[in-house]
Amino acid sequence: MKYPNQPSPIDTTILKETVEWLVKFQAEEAGEDERLALDRWHDQSPAHIAAWQHIQSILNAFKQIPPEIAHGALDWLDKLVRRKVIRILGLLIMVVPSAWLTKRYLPWQEWTADLRTATGEQKTIHLTDRSCVVLNTASVVDIVFNAEERCLKLHIGEILIYTGHDPLLAYRPFLVQTLQGIVQALGTEFSVRCFDEYTRVTVSQDAVEIRPLHAQPIKLHAGEQIDCRIDSTQSLQSADAMSELWTQGIFIAKNMRLADLVSELNRYCEGFIRCHSNVANTPVSSSFSLTDIDSTLKLLQESLPLRVSSFSRYWITIEEA
């Protein structure tokens, strides 16, 4: 699949309006009229939706970047927002390395990909080789099947694969390609998830071979999980038996930091969930719905000393009750 040389730019006027809405809700100055107005503004056109998602992706990025990059950045961001600095977008891009941000947000890949899911959407696709792939939320995949190989290029997100018996007589390896390397199926069921700096592979049945771009290959068997970087692989871990529950719309938290849970929920939420620093380390253990984020937030509020404030369906804050 061919890609344009560069992403389609987001209209500057709409982008500035997006930042103004961000300022208003981050500063918690919005009332009911403003909340309704944001909903109307957001639904005006695909360009408005794209601009809001772009800002959201940058804010989500701050929650996930390494500590050596993120140190002090969120406090700095809050100060900027409360001072209503309309150039916040440019400043954010200066703080986050451009190559890293580009890897995280590639809109042209989403628009031109063979398979894709929206935020909160999951999709099951049956391939021509009798294999099956399940796309998790906000995933982008290209299919490259030819006489030599069967390859899925996972650009963003997470997929679960059930390999099938290829009807062609000639052997064609089944591959999943990410930024960090290639995963080859050895007659198996496995999942692949893209993080910013590594790929996580979990095997449920049989085995796979993982070939990082600049490291030695390693074989992974059923019940094992590994994180693969471009030049190394982490030590083998036991796979979480509940790691595939996302296909059923369920997430299990076991003594998990609230901030980490919120980061996971943001993958499925069309808006942005903000976790206040004074509750970030609150331990959470329960099962949560990924298909009904409102119910999940209600459960958090009812079971823990937390308060969930919704300034719009696109901006939610969790703080101490």
pLDDT at 45: 82
Statement to judge: residues 95 and 184 lie in one domain: no
> Tens digit of pLDDT for each residue in 203-261?
999 999 999 999 999 999 999 999 999 999 888 899 887 888 999 999 999 999 999 99
What tokens appear for 49 in the block? 């939706």
Percent of the residues in the chain that have a pLDDT greater than 70, as a whole number: 74
More confident residue, 317 or 87: 317
What tokens appear for 129 in the block? 């080789």
- Tell me if 244 is assigned to some domain: no
Contact between 123 and 117 under an 8 Å Cβ cutoff? The reply is yes
Statement to judge: residues 100 and 38 lie in one domain: yes
Secondary structure letter of residue 312 according to DSSP: E
Statement to judge: residues 25 and 63 lie in one domain: yes
Write out the DSSP string of 231-277: TEEPPPEEPPTTTTGGGGTEEEEEEEEHHHHHHHHHTT-SSEEEE-G
- Tell me if 116 is assigned to some domain: no
Q: Out of 58-62, 88-92, 96-100, pick the least confident.
A: 96-100
pLDDT at 12: 66
Statement to judge: residues 69 and 24 lie in one domain: yes
| Residue 95 scores a pLDDT above 80 | no
pLDDT at 299: 93
Query: What is the average pLDDT value for the chain, to the nearest integer?
Result: 79
Average pLDDT over residues 96-119: 58
- Going along 64-223, which residue ranges are E strands? 115-116, 123-126, 132-135, 140-145, 150-156, 158-162, 174-177, 181-194, 199-212, 218-221
The angle that helices 258-266 and 46-64 make with each other, rounded to 10 degrees, is: 150
- Tell me if 65 is assigned to some domain: yes
Buried b (16+ CB within 10 A) or exposed e, 198-220: bbbbbbbeebbebbbeebeebeb
The highest-confidence range among 39-53, 140-154, 228-242, by mean pLDDT, is 140-154
- Tell me if 113 is assigned to some domain: no
Statement to judge: residues 221 and 279 lie in one domain: no
Average pLDDT over residues 159-172: 91
Contact between 177 and 154 under an 8 Å Cβ cutoff? The reply is yes
Listed in sequence order, the DSSP H helices in 10-123 are 12-26, 32-42, 46-64, 67-70, 73-82, 88-95, 98-104, 107-112
Domain-ending residue, one of 238, 270, 295 = 238
| Residue 3 scores a pLDDT above 60 | no
- Tell me if 6 is assigned to some domain: no
Nearest to 187 by CA among 214, 219, 217: 219
pLDDT at 27: 52
Contact between 128 and 151 under an 8 Å Cβ cutoff? The reply is no
Q: Model's pTM, two decimal places? A: 0.70
Statement to judge: residues 135 and 169 lie in one domain: yes
- Tell me if 243 is assigned to some domain: no
| Residue 145 scores a pLDDT above 60 | yes
pLDDT at 91: 45
Q: Out of 3-7, 70-74, 119-123, 258-262, pick the least confident.
A: 3-7
Q: Give the CATH number for residue 173.
A: 2.60.120.1440
pLDDT at 100: 37
Statement to judge: residues 136 and 94 lie in one domain: no
Contact between 207 and 219 under an 8 Å Cβ cutoff? The reply is yes
Statement to judge: residues 260 and 305 lie in one domain: yes
- State the total domains in the chain: 3
| Residue 264 scores a pLDDT above 80 | yes
Q: Give the CATH number for residue 275.
A: 3.55.50.30
Domain holding 96, by residue range, is: 12-108
- Tell me if 203 is assigned to some domain: yes
pLDDT at 303: 92
pLDDT at 56: 63
Nearest to 154 by CA among 189, 99, 116: 116
Tokens 């005006």, residue located: 44
Statement to judge: residues 129 and 223 lie in one domain: yes
Statement to judge: residues 209 and 307 lie in one domain: no
**pLDDT band at residue 60 under the 50/70/90 scheme:** low
What tokens appear for 271 in the block? 């808006």
- Tell me if 279 is assigned to some domain: yes
pLDDT at 11: 67
| Residue 98 scores a pLDDT above 60 | no
Statement to judge: residues 179 and 223 lie in one domain: yes
Contact between 198 and 180 under an 8 Å Cβ cutoff? The reply is yes
